[in-house]
Amino acid sequence: MVNRIILNETSYFGPGAIASLLPEIQGRGLKKVMVVTDKDLLKFHVATKVTALLDENKLSYQIYDKIKANPTIKNVQEGVAFCQAMAADVIVAIGGGSAIDTSKAIAVIMTNPEFADVRSLEGCAATKNKALPLVAISTTSGTAAEVTINYVITDEEKHRKFVCVDPHDIPIIAIIDSEMSASMPAKLCAATGMDALVHAIEGYITKGAWELTDMLHIKAIEIISRALRSSVQGEPQGREDMALGQYIAGMGFSNVGLGIVHSMAHPLSALYDTPHGVACAILLAPVLKFNAAATGTRYREIARAMGVASVDVMPEAEYRQAAIAAVEKLSQDVGIPVKLSELGVKEADIQFLAESAMADACTPGNPRDAALDEIIAIYKSIL
């Protein structure tokens, strides 16, 4: 079997890493910057840390700040028009997965205009050209969009999210500076951090998992499990550790795919505008229970990475339950809701949610094949 690994070209880590932005842009001869971010990151002077660097170096830029929490086709198309109008030769995305995902779609369409409808990018689109140069500066610790070949866009008309997988979209530069996430609110920190844990765990048990990605995912589970609680409390070391942990998870899952936690979370965000990380976090434990029989000894290693003692003397059923219990405890400790009804989910919508999940690009990667009635049962178990 042939396995493929795709990673971004250059990454910078650590407090103050945004100082590397200008030498990279100027060294590549790039001169017109489209800054993609959201209004809150400008209001709270997070994105302005980057624009200040551009100002100091007299680099030409314009700001596109219409990013939504669950970016839409309209966001992308407006962004493409903005990029074309200013004739940008590089995009600098500042934010979490929303800003970076939107930027990936814009950057791909700029060099592959035949995909301007956006919907045709779903799945593994046959783009021919590498995207417009993209620099991704993460301000959350969850999506790892700065190192993945994936992005997700919401189709508001059809009430669904669709996943795009394209090696041409990967940022040329990723900047993971924990000072950029220092002001992240606790709830957002918890949601994005649990999303990172889901990436690591789903990537580790997916059908496509192999030894190289196993190494990344186990290390990511270890870092996230020890750092998320302190990160949510605002501790600088916790924020720095989470910035690294989520990136490592992204290196892995980007190359092997995910499972039905993400398949089931995507329609929740599309229909109810639920934060993606919250949806994933609520679904993780019940999906782990569903998948357990198809995972061999992998839950033992998940439990070990999460700090569970004496896993080697536990029988299979016990270490599997220990892994699930560790996930549930971490989710509880950082304040994730337990029931879908807390998010406004209605039982009448579960059929639609389940059908959408079955059609999602992440579903085939799940370690245990799931039927529609089984997806419905999982949703109902946590309604």
Q: What is the pLDDT of residues 270-300, one digit of tens each?
A: 999 888 999 999 999 999 999 999 999 999 9
On whether residue 3 sits in a domain, the answer given is no
Q: What is the pLDDT of residue 1?
A: 80
Percent of the chain with pLDDT over 90: 94
Q: Are residues 165 and 100 in the same domain?
A: yes
- Which residue, 128, 154, 181, sits at the end of a domain? 181
CA 17 to CA 162: how far, in whole Å?
A: 32
Q: Which amino acid is at 202?
A: E
Q: Which of 126, 154, 181 is the last residue of a domain?
A: 181
Q: 93 phi and psi, to 5 degrees?
A: -95, 125
Instruction: Say if residue 152 is in the same domain as residue 197.
Output: no
Q: Is residue 262 part of a domain?
A: yes
Mean of pLDDT values over 222-244: 96
Q: What is the mean pLDDT of residues 97-122?
A: 97
pTM over 0.75, yes/no: yes
Q: What is the pLDDT of residues 295-328, one digit of tens each?
A: 999 999 999 999 999 999 999 999 999 999 999 9
Q: Quick one: pLDDT at residue 70?
A: 85
Q: What is the pLDDT of residue 25?
A: 95
**Same domain for 219 and 303?**
yes
Q: What is the number of domains present in the chain?
A: 2
List the CATH number of the domain containing 38: 3.40.50.1970
Residues 125, 231 share a domain: no
Question: What is the per-residue pLDDT for 68?
Answer: 85
3-state secondary structure of 335: coil
4 backbone dihedrals φ, ψ, rounded to 5° = -120, 140
159 plus 226 within the same structural domain: no
My answer on whether 164 and 258 are in the same domain is: no
- Mean pLDDT (the chain) is 96
Report the candidate in 313, 295, 293 with the shortest Cα–Cα distance to residue 304. 313
Q: pLDDT by residue (tens digit) across 132-167? A: 999 999 999 888 999 999 999 999 998 888 999 999
Which helix H or strand E contains 151, and what residues bound it?
Answer: strand 150-155
Are 275 and 292 within one domain? yes
Residues 365 and 249 in one domain: yes
- Same domain membership, residue 152 and residue 21: yes
| Whether 99 and 203 share a structural domain | no
Contacts 24+ apart (CB under 8 A), 68-72: 68/38, 68/98, 68/154, 69/98, 69/273, 69/275, 70/98, 70/154, 70/161, 70/269, 70/270, 70/273, 70/276, 71/98, 71/101, 71/102, 71/105, 71/152, 71/153, 71/154, 72/153, 72/154, 72/155, 72/156
Residue 32 lies in a domain: yes
Residue type, 49: K
What average pLDDT does this structure show over 319-342? 96
CA gap 76, 82 in Å, rounded:
10
267, 160 Cβ separation under 8 angstroms: yes
- Residue 124: pLDDT band (50, 70, 90) is very high
Instruction: Indicate the pLDDT class of residue 69, thresholds 50, 70 and 90.
Output: confident
Quote the CA–CA distance of 311 and 309 in Å, as a whole number. Answer: 6
- Taking the C-alpha atoms of residue 199 and residue 205, their distance in angstroms, rounded to an integer, is 10
Last residue of a domain, one of 181, 213, 241: 181
Residue 4 lies inside a defined structural domain of this protein: no
Q: What is the CATH number of the domain that holds 332?
A: 1.20.1090.10
Does 356 have pLDDT greater than 90? yes
Q: Which of 5, 374, 38, 295 minimizes the C-alpha distance to 170?
A: 5
- Is position 1 within any domain? no
Please tell me whether residues 222 and 298 are part of one structural domain.
yes
> What range defines the domain where residue 22 resides?
10-181
Q: Is residue 30 assigned to a domain?
A: yes
Give a yes or no: residue 317 inside a domain.
yes
pLDDT of residue 159: 87
Task: Please compute the mean of the pLDDT values over residues 262-269 and round it to a whole number.
Answer: 95
Q: Work out the percent of the chain whose per-residue pLDDT is above 70.
A: 100
Q: Does residue 71 share a domain with residue 204?
A: no
pLDDT at residue number 228:
98
